[in-house]
């Protein structure tokens, strides 16, 4: 007999699929939705207590009806066109998915008396602030994606105060590991590198490659979601929690390329392109708050993250890059990797 019903959006994606597996293992029933734009159906659990609906989060009527057929206790919202860089050139499709999609799910949850809404935000909310980013750091997003994520948080907080649904915001960053999409040319730098290097072709890096990032293992991240779920009654609605590796794990994008190449017994051949517009140079977070309140800890190093991501990609089918989203704005600043579909050359 299962304990509660957990409703997960983006369930075929990296975080969503692992959350589904974890909550099923904990004895819960899981209902998942995904439009399969950014995730693979092979990531979906095969389990008697799991049900999947191929539906877009913007279809509020369908989502509301799905929830109405089950007594949903908690919504974990992971679905997103998480394309920070692309949002500069396709702001309509990206911001609509992020902002309106989040509100669509929240509205359905409220209409069905859901107790808890765990929202996946983004480190892009901090923009050009000085790292490490703390939850009290003043948000200053510099791209449409980051701004939409921040505005979605604000709207959820407002709805929480009006309708009394508990809202918790989780801010993961650069999450990788098994189940990550490796055929998307617009996001997931580690998997883009892996896909290119596996085909013995150079990788493309925007700018000098000295941008610094930290990389999170998906298993560490889902532990934080589960802790937030378990401790929700003692957490104030609207709280924000950064999750990811601890300070000091950040590396340059150029260094990342060399680590990925090592797992293919190769050296990274790099082609440098002009800086990508509105790309934050350095970005990583402090996880002190999550450590103190959620008892959050990390078990995986950057090397572990790369190893597990590459190991998974190697045992899965080769995939070409799928330029599945339209460029709404094409001008001299639009990256040639996108306009000329360079990743498939």
Residues 208 and 269 in one domain: yes
Distance CA 123, CA 116 (A): 22
In a domain, 80, yes or no: yes
Domain range for 112: 5-175+215-242
pLDDT tens digits for range 316-335: 999 999 999 999 999 999 99
Residue in 17, 77, 4 with CA at minimum distance from that of residue 47: 17
Tokens read off for 144: 């449409």
In a domain, 78, yes or no: yes
* pLDDT higher than 90, residue 140: yes
Residues 170 and 227 in one domain: yes
Residues 11 and 155 in one domain: yes
Residues 274 and 186 in one domain: yes
In a domain, 287, yes or no: no
Contacts (Cβ under 8 Å, ≥6 apart) of 318 = 198, 199
Q: What is the CATH number of the domain that holds 338?
A: 3.90.25.10
pLDDT tens digits for range 207-233: 999 999 999 999 999 999 999 999 999
In a domain, 333, yes or no: yes
Residues 336 and 275 in one domain: yes
Residues 278 and 129 in one domain: no
Identify the band that residue 246 occupies on the pLDDT scale cut at 50, 70 and 90.
confident
Q: Phi first, then psi: give them for residue 51, nearest 5 degrees.
A: -130, 140
Residues 31 and 54 in one domain: yes
Residues 259 and 170 in one domain: no
Residues 261 and 228 in one domain: no
pLDDT tens digits for range 85-120: 999 999 999 999 999 999 999 999 999 999 999 999
Average pLDDT, the chain: 97
- The pLDDT score that the predictor gives to residue 2 is 61
Residues 63 and 30 in one domain: yes
% pLDDT > 70, the chain: 99
In a domain, 292, yes or no: no
Q: What is the CATH number of the domain that holds 102?
A: 3.40.50.720
Distance CA 152, CA 119 (A): 9
In a domain, 169, yes or no: yes
In a domain, 294, yes or no: no
In a domain, 90, yes or no: yes
Residues 44 and 14 in one domain: yes
DSSP 164-223: --EEEEEE--SEESTT---S-TTS-HHHHHHHHHHTT-PEEEETTS--EE--EEHHHHHH
- Domain tally for the chain? 2
Residue in 212, 180, 222, 216 with CA at minimum distance from that of residue 300: 216
* pLDDT higher than 60, residue 1: no
Q: What per-residue string of b and e applies to 225-257 under the rule 16 or more CB within 10 Å gives b?
A: bbbbbeebeebebbbbbbbbbbeebbbbbbbbb
Residues 130 and 12 in one domain: yes
């Amino acid at each position: 007999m299962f304990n509660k019903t957990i409703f997960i959006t983006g369930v075929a994606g990296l975080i969503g699929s692992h959350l589904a597996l974890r909550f099923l293992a904990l004895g819960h029933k899981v209902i998942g939705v995904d439009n399969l734009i950014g995730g693979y159906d092979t990531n979906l659990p095969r389990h008697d207590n799991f049900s999947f609906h191929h539906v877009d989060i913007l279809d509020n009527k369908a989502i509301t009806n799905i929830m109405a057929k089950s007594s949903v206790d908690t919504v974990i919202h992971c679905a997103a066109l998480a394309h920070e860089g692309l949002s500069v050139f396709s702001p309509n499709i990206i911001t609509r998915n992020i902002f309106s999609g989040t509100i669509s799910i929240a509205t359905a949850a409220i209409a069905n008396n859901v107790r808890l809404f765990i929202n996946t935000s983004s480190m892009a909310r901090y923009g050009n602030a000085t790292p490490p980013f703390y939850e009290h750091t003043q948000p200053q997003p510099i791209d449409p994606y980051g701004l939409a994520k921040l505005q979605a948080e604000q709207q959820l907080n407002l709805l929480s105060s009006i309708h009394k649904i508990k809202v918790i915001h989780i801010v993961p960053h650069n999450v990788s590991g098994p189940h990550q999409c490796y055929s998307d040319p617009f996001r997931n730098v580690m998997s883009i590198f892996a896909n290119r290097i596996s085909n013995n072709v150079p990788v493309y890096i925007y700018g000098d490659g000295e941008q610094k990032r930290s990389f999170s293992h998906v298993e560490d991240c889902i532990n934080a979601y589960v802790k937030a779920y378990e401790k929700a009654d003692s957490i104030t609605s609207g709280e924000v929690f950064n999750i990811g590796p601890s300070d000091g794990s950040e590396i340059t994008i150029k260094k990342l390329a060399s680590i990925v190449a090592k797992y293919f017994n190769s050296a990274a051949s790099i082609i440098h392109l002009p800086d990508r517009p509105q790309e934050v140079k350095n970005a990583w977070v402090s996880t002190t708050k999550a450590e103190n309140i959620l008892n959050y800890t990390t078990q995986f190093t950057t090397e572990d993250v790369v190893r597990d991501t590459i190991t998974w990609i190697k045992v899965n089918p080769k995939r070409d890059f799928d330029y599945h989203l339209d460029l709404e704005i094409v001008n001299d600043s639009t990256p040639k990797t996108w306009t000329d579909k360079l990743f498939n050359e």
